[in-house]
Amino acid sequence: MVKRIETDNQNRIYKWNRDRQLFKQDYNPIKETSFVIEECIEGITEYKSEEAKEIADLLTKVIANSHIEAVIDFIKEFQLDKFKPTYEPTIEQQIDACQDIKVFTIGRELKLGYNPNLCLLEAIKHIESDKGYYNRSKGKWIKTQRTYEPKYETCKL
């Protein structure tokens, strides 16, 4: 049943992209990345749609043009270690952002000619092969070894 739902959802996302003629446009990885960043912005701020899109487009272009160091230096001036968010997104906003990100990333994989479900399985095998430990002081998992490299070429449609 789960496989049927995954396939149906993938077909619906394909149709959504096709109906908007997104497959006919020249593929642009910067634009595709901007869609995801826009949804991230909408998921944690009060910025919506056009405002979030404008910010995402700008950020993506700056990053893609290798100006990331300048952005990082600029951001560090804000002393983010003392940063306290002024906006608390609702659970619904956060879930909506996650789902929109899925729609855009699945559409991107389809545009590139890959099966999103098979790509996800390869990514899961990749992360499951992690060896390492949890570093409590850093609050994160420290990878010491990864034994599986994804074979995305096996995921082509």
| pLDDT at residue 110, rounded to an integer | 93
Structural domain range at position 15: 2-112
Same structural domain for residues 98 and 147? no
| pLDDT at residue 19, rounded to an integer | 87
Provide the domain count of the chain. Answer: 2
Each residue's pLDDT, cut to its tens digit, for the chain (157 residues) gives 456 656 788 888 988 888 888 887 788 999 999 999 999 999 988 888 899 999 999 989 888 887 778 778 877 777 666 667 778 889 999 999 999 999 999 999 999 999 999 999 999 999 999 899 888 998 888 889 989 999 999 999 9
Phi/psi of residue 51, each to 5°?
A: -65, -45
Q: DSSP per residue over the chain, as a string?
A: -HHHHHHHHHHHHHHHHHHTTTTTSPP-HHHHHHHHHHHHHHHHSS--HHHHHHHHHHHHHHHHTT-HHHHHHHHHTT-GGG---S----HHHHHHHHHHHHHHHHHHHHHTTB-HHHHHHHHHHHHHTEEEEEETTTTEEEEEEE-----GGGGB-
Same structural domain for residues 101 and 145? no
Same structural domain for residues 103 and 66? yes
| pLDDT at residue 107, rounded to an integer | 93
Cα–Cα distances (Å) from 88 to 40, 75, 81, 93, in that order, read 14, 21, 18, 10
Same structural domain for residues 91 and 142? no
Same structural domain for residues 118 and 51? no
| pLDDT at residue 4, rounded to an integer | 63
| pLDDT at residue 80, rounded to an integer | 63
| pLDDT at residue 56, rounded to an integer | 93
Same structural domain for residues 92 and 145? no
Using the 3D structure, point to which of 112, 130, 148 is the last residue of a domain. Answer: 112
d(CA 41, CA 79): 20
Beta carbons of 45 and 87 less than 8 angstroms apart: yes
d(CA 124, CA 116): 12
Same structural domain for residues 69 and 127? no
Same structural domain for residues 63 and 78? yes
Q: Global pTM? A: 0.77
